[in-house]
C-alpha cells in the first residue's frame, strides 16, 4: 500500500491517508443485518473530505458478506459444488439452463446469481441424479437408449459406464450410484406406461 498512500483524493485533491482497523459499511436496504464491520481492514481515506478508496480485497470481503446475508452461495462454494459433481463449466451451465458466460461470472465473483439459480445449484448439490432424470424425460430417445442399456446390462457392468451413458460425463462413484438408482426407477415407470 506504500505507493498508494501518496494518492490524491479524486474529490478534492488532498492527500489520501492509509487507515487500518475495523471498516464499517452500511449496505443497501435489500441486504439484511445492518452495518457491516470488517476487522483488521486497510483502506485509504481523504484527510480533508473523508472520501474513501477501498482496496479489492476489502471490497471482495464486503461483497461476500453481502451474499451470505442474502442467503446466496459464495463463488468458491459454487465452484466446489461443480468440482464435487465432476462437471465442466459448460456442463453445469447447460443443466442450470444458463449461458456458460453467465455461469463463469458467478464462479469468478464478477456477478451474483439470483435466488432461483442459487436454489437450483443447491438442489443439484443435494440431488444431482434428479437433473439426469429430467434430461432423460425431456429426451425420449435418450430415455429409450437408457432403457436398452438397462435391458442388456445384467448386473455385471460397471457403474461408471451406465452413469456416462445417462449423463454423458464422468461422475464420482457415489454420484454414479445415485444416478443409477434414480434412472432405474425412471425407466421402470416409463416401461409401466
Ligand atoms: Zn478529499
**Residue 24 C-alpha to ligand 1 middle, in angstroms?**
19
Residues of the chain with CATH 3.10.20: 3-69
What residue ranges of the chain are covered by domains with CATH 1.10.260? 75-126
- Distances, alpha carbon 14 to alpha carbons 17, 23, 53, 121, in Å: 9, 21, 13, 47
Hey, how many other C-beta atoms are within 10 angstroms of the C-beta on 38?
17
Is residue 128's pLDDT more than 90? no
Do residues 167 and 150 make contact, with C-beta atoms less than 8 angstroms apart?
no
Q: What separation in Å is there between the alpha carbon of 45 and the centre of ligand 1?
A: 8
Q: Residue 166 — pLDDT band, cuts 50, 70, 90?
A: low
Q: pLDDT per residue over 17-74, tens digit each?
A: 999 999 999 999 989 999 999 999 999 999 999 999 999 999 999 999 999 999 999 9
Are 73 and 64 in contact by the 8 Å Cβ rule? The answer is no
Global pTM? Answer: 0.65
144/58: higher pLDDT: 58
**Helix pair angle (140-153, 128-138), 10° resolution:** 110
Of the two residues 117 and 133, the one the predictor is more confident about is: 117
Q: Output 6-12 pairs: Cβ under 8 A, ≥24 positions apart.
A: 7/44, 7/53, 9/46, 9/48, 9/49, 9/51, 10/51, 11/46, 11/49, 11/51, 12/46, 12/48, 12/49, 12/51
Kindly give the distance from the C-alpha atom of residue 19 to the centroid of ligand 1, in angstroms, as a whole number.
14
CA 74, 79, 81, 85: dihedral to nearest 10 degrees?
170
- What is the distance in A from the centroid of ligand 1 to the CA of 43? 14
Quick check: 2 pLDDT over 80? Answer: no
| 37 CA from centroid of ligand 1 (Å) | 23
DSSP label at residue 23: E
pLDDT in tens, 68-118: 999 999 999 999 999 998 889 998 999 899 999 999 999 999 999 999 999
Mean pLDDT of 165-183: 63
In the CATH scheme, what is the code of domain 75-126?
1.10.260
Q: Which helix (H) or strand (E) holds 39?
A: strand 36-46
Backbone angles phi, psi at 94, to 5 degrees: -65, -45
Q: For residues 105-132, give the mean pLDDT.
A: 92
Q: What is the CATH number of domain 3-69?
A: 3.10.20
Amino acid at each position: 500500500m506504500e505507493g498508494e498512500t501518496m494518492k490524491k483524493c479524486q474529490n478534492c485533491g488532498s492527500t489520501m491517508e492509509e487507515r487500518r482497523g475495523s471498516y464499517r459499511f452500511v449496505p443497501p436496504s435489500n441486504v439484511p443485518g445492518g452495518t457491516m464491520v470488517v476487522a483488521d481492514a486497510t483502506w485509504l481515506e481523504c484527510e480533508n473530505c473523508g472520501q474513501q478508496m477501498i482496496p479489492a480485497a476489502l471490497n471482495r470481503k464486503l461483497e461476500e458478506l453481502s451474499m451470505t446475508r442474502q442467503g446466496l452461495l459464495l463463488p468458491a462454494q459454487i465452484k466446489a459444488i461443480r468440482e464435487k459433481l465432476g462437471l465442466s463449466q459448460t456442463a453445469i451451465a447447460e443443466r442450470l439452463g444458463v449461458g456458460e458466460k453467465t455461469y463463469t461470472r458467478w464462479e469468478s465473483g464478477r456477478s451474483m446469481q439470483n435466488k432461483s439459480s442459487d436454489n437450483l445449484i443447491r438442489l443439484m448439490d443435494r440431488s444431482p441424479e434428479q437433473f439426469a432424470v429430467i434430461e432423460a424425460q425431456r429426451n425420449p430417445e435418450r430415455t429409450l437408449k437408457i432403457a436398452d442399456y438397462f435391458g442388456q446390462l445384467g448386473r455385471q457392468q460397471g457403474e461408471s459406464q451406465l452413469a456416462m451413458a445417462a449423463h454423458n460425463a464422468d461422475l464420482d462413484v457415489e454420484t454414479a450410484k445415485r444416478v443409477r438408482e434414480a434412472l432405474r426407477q425412471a425407466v421402470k415407470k416409463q416401461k409401466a406406461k
